[in-house]
Amino acid sequence: MPVARPGRLLQCAAAVLLACVVLATMQCKRAEEKPSGETLARQYCSGCHEFPDPSVLTKESWRFLLTYMGFYLGQNNFDVLKGSSRSVIENIRSKQMTLQVSGLVPSEPVVSDADWAAIRRYYDSLAPATALPQTGKPVLTDELALFKIKETVYQPHEAIVTMVRVDEPHQQIVVANAHDLDLVILDKQLHVAQKYNGYELLVDMFEHDDSLYVLSIGDLMGRYVGMDRGYVLKVPRNNSVRANALPAAGGLWRRPTWLFTDLDLMTSTSSLFCNFGDVDGSLQLFTLQHGMYKPHSTVVQAPGIVKLCVQDFNKDGLPDLAVLMSHARETSAS
């Protein structure tokens, strides 16, 4: 009857132990090779924009925003928003619908459920419960010999200032306060010369035909995706402190700026509107019809337009357009 030698038994035990160590090492290596939430976030989020640090928003804000961003990646899970207010659910559904209509929601998920969950955990674990405090603002100092700091008579208790413009010909300052829905015109003594109330989110203005035209972006925070809430007001020049502004254009959507221009070289009744848009955007030409500016044609169909310039760049005697796009798209139209 054969008898096992002690040396042989030790060799077998060592081989079994080595195999266990190799298997454990391979499993650990596989676990280490699995991308972290941060790695996945940098991979997917940075494909469209700069990588956002978790500290820039609260946990609650990230839950909403990541649900919105997930639509672009084919992730349509709303579970993290259970218990949210009706307005939150309506908001996120309107954003989803707009992306679907625009064909920007992929038919199949671009990121797996597991990886998307890891991205969510990364932001939820590191984001603050409440917004981080703002850094202290420096005290205003009167250090410029040719300038002096003066307070205006218009001192609202709270303000969300969306526009400040200097009207040099009339020596006035135009201020828009979205908190109180005020449009205030200050004279050179910084007293209130005119005040209009009930007009929200005014962001730009132009002097044209001795009238003041102001533009409302309609939706500053992107809450009303795809809704045409923007408009233009014609502000009359008179001595009344409280006067009525007249509508000049309506049905606009997220227009950050516009320009009166003379594209046909004959009239000055044309106006170019930059439609920044959330998903769809354009540069549109409006013409004056019965006292209101109405859409005439689309010059450029692309989102993200924030600025334009009209000039004869190629010296052919005809106006050309230079368009600044914030979505990393550059184009021109002649």
According to the 3-state scheme, what is the secondary structure of 250-274? EEECCCCEEEEECCCCCCCCEEEEE
Residue range 123-147: mean pLDDT, rounded: 85
The span from the CA of 71 to the CA of 107, in Å, is: 10
Residue range 194-203: mean pLDDT, rounded: 86
What local confidence, expressed as pLDDT, does residue 241 receive? 53
Half-sphere exposure of 59 (CA within 13 A, CB side): 9
Residue range 86-100: mean pLDDT, rounded: 86
- How would residue 240 be classed by pLDDT, with cut points 50, 70 and 90? low
Q: Which two tokens stand for residue 182?
A: 């005020």
The span from the CA of 35 to the CA of 114, in Å, is: 11
Single out the residue of 254, 221, 225, 200 nearest to residue 90, CA to CA. 225
**Torsion angle, alpha carbons of 101, 107, 112, 114, to 10:** 60
Paired strand residues for 289: 292
Residue range 129-150: mean pLDDT, rounded: 82
What local confidence, expressed as pLDDT, does residue 191 receive? 94
Characterise 267 by phi-psi region: left (phi > 0), alpha (psi -120 to 50), beta (else).
beta
Among 3-7, 74-78, 102-106, 233-237, the range scoring the smallest mean pLDDT is 3-7
Residue range 76-101: mean pLDDT, rounded: 87
Residue 194 per-residue DSSP state? E
CA distance to 306, 310, 325, per residue, from 303 (Å) = 9, 19, 8
